[in-house]
Amino acid sequence: MSSATTPEPQALRGAEAGVSTAAAGRRVALVHDWITSYRGGEHVLERIARLFPSAPIYTLVWRRGASSPAIESHPIHTSFLQRLPDAERRYRWFLPIFPRAIESLDLAGHDVVISTSHAVAKGVRVPPGAFHLSYIHTPMRYIWDLEDQYFPPARFPWPLSWYVRRTCARLRAWDVDTSGRPHALLANSRHVAERIRRHWRRPAEVVYPPVAIHRFAPVDGPRGYYLLAGAFAPYKRGELAIAACRHMGRRLVVAGAGQDEARLRALAGPGIEFRGWVDDDEMARLLAGARALLFPGEEDFGILPVEAMASGCPVIALARGGALETVGLRAPAEVLERARAGVERVPGGVLFGAQTVEGLTRAMAVLEAASFDPADVRANAEPFAEEVFDRAFAAALARAHAAWRTAR
């Protein structure tokens, strides 16, 4: 639901100066897991690509026309997966050979490699003497923290179940073995930095991803419904939002699509309205008219809550993951700690600790008893603006490259 945006030249000028130390006179290559849509990860890639307008992009699979014109203006090189049957749509079927595919990319001739990774991009092989910085959205969710959700034990009969478990174990081993390939790591949140430390035993500097908050603004008018939105997957727990609104008799607008959509529709009843996938303008209108965004799942960062706050729309979010750093921004540490076990009002909305219908309804009751100044809610979104990312990324790249040169 995000779209490509064109930054003003002055917004990038400082960032361009910041990358000059690492990139001047050097050939830069960008690496991304796959380019088959335009979502948060592709927005990060686009912002980085704008800093290196002549850099080629290397990826496992590319679906032409599915991403932004800014990304597709760069030369794009794909792996051998591109030649497999229906790979542009069914690339996830080839998960067991992702490591071999990413290692097959030939980056010869490049001096600086920047990967953006939520799967295997960080494991790319770089030429001898080249510097590699990796921006990590998360270590692979489906082989670490969410393996049982993506591959439930009862989902596959034996011996397929044995093969799935063996494959996940093999991928975890490869993920750890290749975690030392980047010379420096950036994480998209403190939550992900902690996951990197836990799984890879490496530190990572936090650089929050860019959010196009300029597309959203608080508006006057009624806010008469709750909103559930996004790309629906089981771990996002959309069924909690539906059940809570049915229990309280509140109107809920559902905007989005995904693998869990059919199940969510089957749970809906009176007062639950499905809009399907909506464009950027419609999403901005929905956020501007919502009483609150319901966000009952745990996310690594979560761009949609930031977009909601930029609209002056408070967020009711689970007190885990990136929501503690966005919705909970400016809240005292003791308030965030209490939210993990209960319900607490914070500057960006309400945080709740129990991932249950009861926990969410308690949070909705707290929000309905409170009042929020839309301008104050928007203040929670401003530190995540695109131009803030540009400067922070450029500075982190320059520092990491300078440290690498000194160590050499």
401, 26 contact by CB (below 8 A): no
What's 310's domain CATH number?
A: 3.40.50.2000
What's the total number of domains in the chain?
Answer: 2
The CA distances from residue 147 to 95, 155, 164, 171, 313, in Å, are 13, 12, 10, 12, 33
239 and 314 assigned to the same domain: yes
304 and 349 assigned to the same domain: yes
What's 83's domain CATH number?
A: 3.40.50
The answer to whether position 191 is within a domain reads: yes
**pTM for this model (two decimals):** 0.88
- Give the Cβ contact number of residue 31 at 10 Å: 28
Collapsing DSSP states into helix, strand and coil, what is residue 225? strand
CA distance 219 to 230: 22
Q: Show the domain range for 306.
A: 213-383
Q: What are the tens digits of pLDDT across the range 228-274? A: 999 888 889 999 999 999 999 999 999 998 888 999 999 998 889 99
255 and 379 assigned to the same domain: yes
Q: What is the mean pLDDT of the chain?
A: 91
Q: What are the tens digits of pLDDT across the range 313-332? A: 999 999 999 999 999 999 99
Q: What is the pLDDT of residue 48?
A: 97
The answer to whether position 34 is within a domain reads: yes
196 and 86 assigned to the same domain: yes
Q: What is the residue type of 106?
A: D
Collapsing DSSP states into helix, strand and coil, what is residue 135? strand
The answer to whether position 170 is within a domain reads: no
Q: What is the pLDDT of residue 25?
A: 65
The answer to whether position 322 is within a domain reads: yes
200 and 218 assigned to the same domain: no
Residue 295 phi, psi (nearest 5): -135, 75
Confidence check: pLDDT of 11 > 50: no
The answer to whether position 163 is within a domain reads: no
289 and 190 assigned to the same domain: no
366 and 231 assigned to the same domain: yes
The answer to whether position 393 is within a domain reads: yes
Percent of the chain with pLDDT over 70: 90
217 and 123 assigned to the same domain: no
